[in-house]
Each structure stands twice: as structure tokens, then as C-alpha cells.
Amino acid sequence: MEVLSRADEILLLAILRLKDNAYGVSIVKEVEQRAGKKLKLGGLWVSLDILARKGLVEKSMGDPTPKRGGRSKIYYSLTPAGLTALERVKEFNRSLWKGIGEVI
Amino acid sequence: MGNHSYPKPPRVLAQLFELIARSEEQRTISGDLNEMFADLVEERGHLKAFLWYGGQVLGACPLFLFNSLYWRVIMLINYLKITIRNIRRHKAYSFINIAGLAIGIVSCMLIMLWVQDELSYDRFHEHADSLYVATFSNGSTVTPTALSGFLKAEYPEVLHTSRFTYMGSNLLKYEDTEIYEAGGVMVDPDFVKMFTIPLLGGYQETSLNDPQSILISEKLAHKYFGNKDPIGQTMTFATSIDLKVTGVFEDYPANSHIRFEFILPLALSKMWNWNLNTWEYNNIRTYVQLHEGTPVKSVDSKISDVVERHRPQDQRPLSLQPVTRLHLNPYHGRGTLTYIFLFSAMAFFILIIACINFINLTTAKSSNRAKEVGIRKTVGAFRAHLIRQFFGESLFLTLIASAIGVGLSILVLPGFNNLSGKTFTWEVLLQQGVLLGIFSILILTVLIAGSYPALFLSRFQPARVLTGKLKAGMKGGTLRKILVVVQFSLSVFLVLGTVTIYRQVHFLQERDVGYDREHVVIFGISGQIIQNRDTIKTMLLSNPGIQHVTLVDIAPYRWQSNAGVGDVHWEGKTNQQVKMVMTSVDYDFLDTFGLEMAEGRFFSKEYSTDATESFVVNQAAVKAMEMDDPIGKELRVWDYKRKIIGVVKDYHFESLHKPIIPMAMRIDPRWYQQACVRISPHRVRDTLAFLEKKWKEGHPRYPFEYQFLDDMIHSLYRSEQSIGTVVTVFTVLALFISCLGIFGLSSYTAEQRTKEIGIRRVLGASVSNVVKHISKEFVFLVIIANVIAWPLAYFLINLWLQKFAYRIAIGWLTFILVGMVVLVLSLFTISWQIIRAATANPVDSLRYE
């Protein structure tokens, strides 16, 4: 089983942290705040679409609001497979860093 | 939610985003964009927000594209799978489709190669775009010798000029090798700067400055010098003139309007007292190189009356014709634009015919696909998807056909070379232009062949197809009929054209040329023969197999009047403009060629003045000069001023493309180049052996090279002949593809009407009744096709025939015969399938459900 890329890891963590409020705008803001990366909304959608296709993320349609020009939101949430993937990444990072913290 | 209005992003950008967002889901992103845009406006103002929005939209484009490609690949695999399944399920149809397209593509490619080669003439010159030849308004490129120097001196736009003339066969000698060489030309020194003639040795710019120099081709260098270095060696030209080899050039490419094996400086011609600076008559070609980028129009307007200024009687405007266009100039070149057009049209027709097969068979079989279309639409396919799918299918089939086509082309290339007289190797298929051509044929095929099926099939309504209400396949009936008519019109048209070309070429070859062309042997002669001509003649005539011997400058068949005509003056001339060619003959000329006199007498040794003071002219000359009593009248052609002693009956001294023009004959041994020997029909072989023996005695070192006059006459029409063959082959292919098409259609019809045929048979119809009934509609289509093709063919055939001075009449019998043949052929093709269906046991055909 492959390990998540760093970009995917960041996205999944953001979705996990945002819980029920994970949609385009909130994810972009979260990522910018935590990781200092400015995402493009279009790019974000493509990345999330691929994650959804891999079965790590689930999409659900929200309600349209006037501020959004009458467009619905798409809410993202982690699937069990997404959670497992995050855990694996965490384990992976830990094993990579094992013993190194004392040196630096 | 209230009436609170949020800031809206710029409209144009928002619409752009809508445009690139292809799915509903992607469009929700614009909601996200709007939301953030509103926040940004509050936080950082309009401008920042605006820029951010623009960046977001533009950034999304490539990403969305990538995303949709991902999905397309998956669909593509599905489409491909269905395509392959369809090909395998309907093997016969697929074969007809692919074979037809492949043959169409092969034809198209070969023709394209030919056309491209024809158009490539003289493109290889480095200065091709600034090289011109001075041309009179009637297309003649024969100009005064003084023109070249005048243009160079008077017009600053002109960079270089050079005169150019062919020399006929001449002896060229080095040590023991002495051979007649036909490929000699004479030019001014600047010629090698203007034309790209890569020299292997010697210094290019000055290589022709010495009048006694010669440039030879690699081939000649090898022939005369073997492995020795030819540079600086001395060769003997025309038995007495010593020339120093100052350069060897790479063998000159075949795709040029000029051909030569060796080049001599024009200055050498002072040996023969040529007047190289006169406006008096036209006898040389003038090439001009303009400075790069000079508009030729501006020069044309200045030089148009140059000749007239110096010689008021010649009022034809002069202009500069691009060298690259000379090959296709019918007045001058071997190729013609007509054939380029003819062949291109043919390639296009064949492709169309093959595409029509594809369209007809696909739409005919569409009932098989209707259900698939219905289901695809039901599960969410839009029409655009289906159009894409069917286009893809056409593309796939065309690709297969192209691959087969390219393979076939390589296989048949040697045969095609044979037919067309070209020398293509398979590598030409890799040239950029050719690849581009193949690619465009492919796209064209897909567009023509794929568009109708794609639009037609994708239109099916799922509800109707799936409930079986729509009898798909019957719908395109009218269109199919029209297309079959188009196909057969084209085929009939091509067949008619081919038959006409054949008849015309045959007519030209067999036409009475006005002299007896059988059993005349022609060979080049040396100065030695000319000097001893009387003793040699007597010696030859002692052989019973030899009837007549004569010497001429140019034998009748190979005259080219555009190589030089002179102005004529005569007693009693008023205002007529008469151009005349002049030939130098011997006393036996009349008897050798079996010519007849119309008036007066031919040259005779009994009159000592004949050799210096007499002309014999042809009837055309008398007519042009409007003379009532030509005998005894004085005539001046070029510098020759003599009296007319006789009028010879007109004969064709040129190819039959040209009418007979005025000609004057004189006795002038200095110009003799060839011997013509009439031999007895019964002793051809013995006599040839005798001639060869005598030749060897006189010229032990050179081979005896001879030709028969009738062979040479046939070769005059070789271009028509080879084009006739090429056209025939492609016409047969076109007809074959058309038949393949109706074969497919008729077998489909037979299959569709199995039940009907069965019932008819049960009710007592005979096999022939059934066949008649079903083939009736096809026959009707073929007849309509004939009716459409005939007038069109008549018009174009007539147009083509106009280029011949002597031509066949277009007989209606040909049209009717061709129509019948095509009809019988198509009937035969159709019956094949229908007879099979009709002779099947009706019990089986009625039980098939």
C-alpha cells in the first residue's frame, strides 16, 4: 500500500480538523493558516476529486447561499479508508524520525 | 437570508469559469470562489480581490482539462472495445470498409507523391525564388542574344543574367574515349552563380570565365576519366576544339526543367561566328536573377517593351516568369498544370468514393447500433458523447486503413515508378510534406466518412429505439441512394476520361504524319562522315538492303518550333508577320522520308546553285506568306537570302500537339547532325549488321547507336501514354471500390429482405423474377449516375482535347459503351448476393426468426 503524498496528507488533515464544515473555502483558509500554502480553488477540487476517486474522501452536496451566488457547497469528509491512510502516514513519519529527534 | 447583497465578481471572468467548468460539480466551485471573493473585497478591497479571482479562474483551466482527460481515457477504452467487437462481428462489412479506405488512401498517397514531385521542380536552387526566365506573352522563352546584357546593364534590380542554349549531340573526346554526348548546354559564366550546381572541384565563380573551359557532371567524369582527376585535363569537343575541364558538378537533380551533362561557356560560340549581341532574331533563352525580395511586378512593367524598342516588328510584351513555374508551363515544360489538376481531382474522387462506401455501410448497418445508442443515452450519455464515439470509431478504422495503405504504398511503389516514370523510394514517405499530406488525408477521410454516421446515429431517440418502434437503417435510404449515384457518376466519369485519353494517344501514334516513318534508322554522325558523305553514301547504297541515305540537322519527329523561329522577309511582303523554322537537309531527304512535292522541284545535284541559292518551303509557309506563285520568289530567313525552287507537301515535323508551321529547307552541310537510312523491310537485320560493321570500320572506338524513326515518334507521346496508364490503374481502382460498395449494400439489402424474398418465392416467383425485382433499384441508380456523368465528362474531355492540334472526335458510342460496361459490371456485383438469397430454400428464409 502506497503512502500518501505530503499534499494529500495536508488536505486530509485539514478535512479531519474542520469536521462538518470542510468545504472549498474553509479548506483553503485552513491550509493557508496551518501550512502557509495558498491553494487554487480549481486545483483543490481536482485534488479532492482524485482523493474521492481513490475512496479516501466522500463528497456531499450542501445548500446554496446568496453569498455564493446561488451555488451549493460540496462538503468533504474522510472515509474509513481515508482515516486509515492518515494513520499509516503518521506511523510512517514516526518510523522515519525515530531516534533522529535527539540528534537535531 | 435577506436582501443584503454581496459583492459580485467580474462578470466576464465568472462566465469564463462557467465555460470551462464542464460538470455540475465543478460549477459549485464558482460558489466557493464567490464566497472568498466577497470576503476578500471586505478585507483587502476590490482590486486585490479582482486579481485573485482572475488568477483562480485561469489557474483552473489546465487542471480541469487534466481531470476530464482522465475520465476520457476510461471511456476511450470502452469505445475501442465496442469498435473492435463490431469489426469482428461483421467481418465482411469491416473488410469492405477497411479495404475500400485503404485502397483509397494508397491511391491518394501515390497521386499526392506524384503531384508533390511535379510541384517540387527547381525548388532546390538556393535562389529559386529570385530566378526568372524572360518570357514573351505567348509563352515563348526564346529571346534575342542581346537581351541578357541589356537587362543586366540597364536595370539595377537585376543581380545576374545568363543566356542558355542546348547544343544537340556532339562528339566529346578524351584520349581513347570519344562518344556522342547529347546533354550539352552553353551558358554565360554567371549561370553557376545563379543556379545551384554544386561543384566538386575547381573554383565556382570563375569556372566558366575562360571560353575554352568545360564543366562536366560526375557521371561524365567517371565515364571519361575513371578514377583520374579530371580537373585541368583537356577534352576535345566536336572533333577539333580543345577545352580544359575546370569543374566537375554533382549529377544534376531530375526535378529540374533543364537537364545537362556538361556546360560550356557561351563565349566559345565565337568559333562558329554566332552573333551574340543582336536584337534581330530570337534564338536563345535568358535567365535573370533579381536581388532578393525585389517584387517581380515592378521589373515586369519596366521591361515589357524592351524587345519592341530594339525591334519594332516584335510587339509581344516581355515579362519574367519564375523558374519554378517553368516545368508546369505547357509551352515549355514536360509536366503541365492540367495533369496536376487532373490527378489531384482523381485522388480526391477516389477518396470520396471510398468514404461513401463507409458512410453507406455504416448507416445501413445502423439498426445494429441503434440499441447501443439507446442504452448509452439512457444511462446518461449526451449526444456529444455519442458523436465523439462514432467519430472515434471512424478514426480507428481510418487509422487501420492508413496503416495498411502505407504498407501497400511501399509495396506498390516500384510498380508506380514504372508507370509514372518517377524514381520514388520508400524514404520519400518520411518527408515532412508527405507525412503532413498523409495526416491531412486521414483527417479528411475521418471528417467525410465519419461525420454523417456520427450525426445520424447519435440522433436516435432512446425511447423509440428501445421499444423497437424505429426501424433504424431504413431512414438513411434516400441519402444512400444519392451517394451511390455520386459514386457511380464519378466512376463513369473516370472511365470515360480514361477511354478518351487512350483513344487520343492511339490516334496520335497512328496518324499519318505525311511521311513514311517505317524502317528508317537514325544515328548521330561525326565530322568525318560529313566530309566524306558522298563516298560513304555510295558505299552504303551498294548494299541491297539500303534504299536511301540522307543527312539532316534534326530528323522530322524531334523538331521543337519553340526552340527557334525566325522572322521572314520575302518579295511582295506587306504587313504579315510570319515566323519560320529552318532545317538543313540533303539532296536525298525527299526520297528517304517519302515526302511529296506540291509544286516545283526538290534540291538536285544537277543544279549547282541549289546548295547556295535555293530554298524549298512547305505548304504552310506558302499559305502564311499568301503567295500565289511561290516558285522563283526570293525569301530571307535569318541571314539566309535564297530563292524558292519548290514547295513540299505539309508533313508533321513536330509532335501532333502542335500544328504544322511554316518551314524552309536549305542545303547546308555544316549543320548536319544525323544520318537517316531507309532500309528494305525484308532485310532489316542484315542491313543493321552491315551498318554497324561499316560504322566500326570508320569509328572503331565508339559504339554504333541507332534508333528507329517510328519508335522515336511513339516516344513523343510517352507523357500522354504514361499518364494514360496511371489514370487507367486508378480508374480501375475507383470502379473496384464502387463495386465493393454496392456489393456491401446489396448483400445488406438481401439480408434485410430475406423474408420478402422467401414469400415471393413461395408465392411462385422465379429466381430471375426476384433478382430482377431487387436489382431494379440499383440499376436505376447506375443509369441516373450515367446521365449525370455524361454531360460533365463531355465538357471536360472536350477541354482536354483542345490542347491537341490534331484530335479525335468525341463519339457518343464511347459514352453508351462505357455506360453499358459499368451497368453490366454493377449488375453482376449485385446479382451475386441477390441470387444467393433468391436461390436459398424459402423454408429456411421464412423460418429464420
**A104 lies in some domain:** no
Is the pLDDT at B539 greater than 80? The verdict is yes
Distances (CA, A) of B668 to A2, B282, B678: 99, 21, 21
For B228, phi then psi, to 5°, come to -70, 155
Please determine, for residue B848, whether its predicted confidence score (pLDDT) is greater than 70: no
B77 pLDDT more than 70:
yes
- Mean pLDDT across the stretch B602-610? 86
Indicate if the pLDDT at residue B504 is higher than 70: yes
> What is the domain-level CATH number for residue A73?
1.10.10.10
pLDDT at B161: 93
| Average pLDDT score over residue span B675-689 | 87
In whole angstroms, how far apart are CA B685 and each of B219, B519, B663, B689, B690? 33, 11, 35, 6, 9
Residues in B touching A33 (Cβ below 8 Å): none
Question: B436 vs chain A: nearest CA distance in angstroms?
Answer: 36
Tell me whether residue A1 is in a domain. Answer: no
Q: Count of CB contacts below 8 A, A vs B?
A: 83
Q: Determine the average pLDDT of the residues in B127-136.
A: 88
Q: Is B801 buried (19+), middle (13-18) or exposed (0-12) by CB count in 10 A?
A: middle
pLDDT for res B332: 55
Residue B376 — very low, low, confident or very high, per pLDDT cuts 50/70/90? confident
pTM of the entire structure?
Answer: 0.66
Distances (CA, A) of B609 to B590, B603, B604, B605, B637: 18, 9, 9, 9, 18
Q: How far apart are CA B764 and CA B389, in angstroms?
A: 46
| Confidence band of B670 (pLDDT split at 50, 70, 90) | confident
A13 within a domain of the structure (yes/no): yes
Cβ contact A25–B32 (<8 Å): yes
Contacts of B629 (CB under 8 A, 6+ apart): none
pLDDT one-digit tens code per residue, B67-76:
667 667 777 7
pLDDT 10s digits, B248-291: 888 888 788 888 889 989 888 887 777 788 887 777 889 999 99
CB count within 10 Å of CB B751 equals 12
Q: Which residues of A touch B3 (CB under 8 A)?
A: none
Spatial neighbors of B557 by CB under 8 A, at least 6 apart, are B513, B517, B653, B655, B709, B712, B713, B716
**Residue B2 pLDDT class (50, 70, 90 cuts):** very low
- For residue A103, is it within any domain? no
> Which residue pairs from A86-89 have beta carbons closer than 8 angstroms and sit at least 24 positions apart in sequence?
A86/A4, A86/A9, A86/A12, A86/A13, A86/A16, A88/A1, A88/A3, A88/A4, A89/A3, A89/A4, A89/A9
**CB contact at 8 A, B610 and B604:** yes
Number of structural domains (chain A) is 1
pLDDT category at B163 given cuts 50, 70, 90 is very high
Give B348-362 pLDDT, tens digit per residue. 888 888 888 888 887
pLDDT bracket for residue B653 (50, 70, 90): confident
What mean pLDDT is predicted for residues B714-733?
79
Per mean pLDDT, which of B48-57, B535-544, B716-725 is the most reliable?
A: B535-544
**What is the per-residue pLDDT for B336?**
67
CB-CB under 8 Å, B31 with A66: no
**Residue at A22 is within a domain:** yes
Q: How confident is the model at residue B3 (pLDDT cuts 50, 70, 90)?
A: very low
Q: Tell which wins on pLDDT, B469 or B24.
A: B24
pLDDT tens readout for residues A47-104: 888 888 888 898 888 877 777 777 788 889 889 988 888 898 888 888 888 877 776 6
Cβ B120 vs Cβ B254: under 8 Å? no
The pLDDT tens digits for B309-359 are 888 767 778 889 888 888 776 555 555 677 788 788 888 888 888 888 888
E strand or H helix at B242: strand B241-249
Domain containing residue A68: 6-97
Q: What is the mean pLDDT of residues B372-381?
A: 83
Our CA-based measurement puts residue B51 at a distance from the nearest CA of chain A, in whole angstroms, of: 13
Q: Do A41 and B32 touch (CB under 8 A)?
A: yes
**Mind listing the pLDDT tens digit for each residue in B544-580?**
888 899 988 877 766 655 545 566 788 777 766 777 8
Q: How far is B50 from chain A (nearest CA, A)?
A: 14
Q: Provide residues of A within 8 Å CB-CB of chain B.
A: 23-25, 28, 40-43, 45-46, 49, 59, 61, 64-74
Residues of chain A with C-beta less than 8 angstroms from the C-beta of B57: 42
Phi/psi at B3 (5° precision): -90, 0
Half-sphere exposure of B269 (CA within 13 A, CB side): 20
For residue B54, the distance in angstroms to the closest alpha carbon of chain A comes to: 11
- Which residues from chain B sit within 8 angstroms of residue A41, using beta carbons? 29, 32-33, 36, 56, 60
Residue with cell 560493321: B693
A60 domain residue, yes or no: yes
Task: Look at A36 and B526; give whichever has higher pLDDT.
Answer: A36
